[in-house]
Amino acid sequence: MPDLKTAPPETAALLVWFDENARDLPWRVPPRERLAGHRPDPYRVWLSEVMLQQTTVAAVKGYFARFTEAWPDVRALAHAEEDAVRRAWAGLGYYARCANLIRTARILADAGGVFPGTAAELAALPGIGAYTSAAIAAIAFDEPIAVVDGNVERVVTRLRAIETPLPAAREAVRAAVAALVPQDRPGAFAEAMMDLGATVCTPRNPRCEVCPLSAGCAAFSKGASARYPVKAPKVKKPERQAVAYVIRDENARILVVKRPQTGLLSGMTGLPSSAFTEGPADPPALPVKIAQERDCGSIVHVFTHFRLTLEVRAARAIPGAALPEGWRWSEDAEKEALPTVFRKALTRALAG
C-alpha cells in the first residue's frame, strides 16, 4: 500500500476504509487489484460515467452489461449501427448522451482508439463536461483532480458544515475536495468519496457510527448531519403540454417516426406528437388520414427542466397514403426503442 503519512488524515482514513469496503461494480477495478498494478479500462470508465449521469447504479448495471457485450471497446462502438446503439440505450433517458456517445467513439476511433489522459483534453470531446472529464481522468489515469458529484457534495458539506446552500456552495465544496486529493491514489480517492456518500453518508439516516470521517466531521460533532447539505428552495418546474397519437393501420401496425437529430429526444423513435408547448397544444400534423379517433386521457412525464402533460389519442389510419421519409409502420411497437414518455403513451392507448 502506498505511504499515506503525508496525506491529510481524512484522506488516509477514507482510503483505508475504501480498501475494505469498496462497492463491487462491473466497470471498476477493485482496490486490491489496482494496488497490484491493474489499471481501469478508460472505455469502461467513460461508458459508465456517461450512463450514470442523472441515473442510479442499479439502473445502469444491466445497460452497461449489454453495451459492453455488444461493443467491448471504443472501436466497436464507433462502428456500430446508430439505431442499434439507440435501441440499447432506450429507457436510460437523456438521449443526447447517446448521440454524444456515438460521436465521441468515432472521434476516438479515428485517433487510434486511445483516450486522452487529462481532464482538459477529455472535456473537449462531445458530451464530456467538467464532472465527467474529471472522473475519467482521476479514475482511469490517476490525475490528481477534484471529482465532485452529488454524493461528494453531501459528504463534504457535512464534513466541513458548509452553510451556503447548494448549488451556490459548489465552488467551496470543490476547493475542500481539492485539498484532500492525494498524489499517489487520486483515482481510488475519487471512487472512495462516491462510495462513502452512496453507502454511509446517505441523504437520510446517515450511518455516522461507521463513517471513517466522523472523527473530523463538523456536522457530526454538532449532531446535525441531517441538516446538510443546505439546499436552496426548490423552483417549480415549468409546465408544458403536447398531444401524441397511437395510430394503427389495417394490419394493426403502429405508426412511428424518427425524431429530428437535434433537440429533445433527438434521433430517437417516437410516436407522432405535437411540439411541447407552454400553453394548450394543437394536434400534430400527420402523414395519414385518420378515423375512429379516441381520447385515451393523458400521462405526465417529468423531464430535467419541465413537467409535460401529454394528451394521448388513439386512431385508425385510412389506407392509401404513402409515408414520407422517417415515418414507418411498426410490426411490434412495444419492442421499439421508444423513450419513456412515448412508452407511457403507448401503454395508455393500448390499455384502453
Tell me how far apart the alpha carbons of residues 123 and 40 are, in angstroms, rounded to a whole number: 19
Spatial CA neighbour of 8 closest among 240, 156, 241, 179: 179
Same CATH fold assignment for domains 9-227 and 239-351 = no
- Distances from the Cα of 173 to the Cαs of 9, 164, 166, 202, 295, in angstroms? 18, 10, 10, 17, 50
Run of H or E including 88: helix 82-89
* Grid cell digits, residue 265: 429526444
Residue 47: predicted pLDDT = 97
* Grid cell digits, residue 249: 393501420
What parts of the chain have a pLDDT lower than 70? Answer: 1-6, 352
pLDDT digits (tens, 9 = 90+) for 89-144: 988 877 788 889 999 999 999 999 999 999 999 999 999 999 999 999 999 999 99
Provide the CATH topology of domain 9-227: Endonuclease III; domain 1 (1.10.340)
- Distances from the Cα of 246 to the Cαs of 296, 305, 319, in angstroms? 10, 26, 16
Task: Kindly list the domain boundaries of the chain, sorted by start residue.
Answer: 9-227, 239-351
Residues involved in catalysis: 49
| pTM strictly above 0.85 | no
* Domain at 239-351: CATH architecture: Alpha-Beta Complex (3.90)
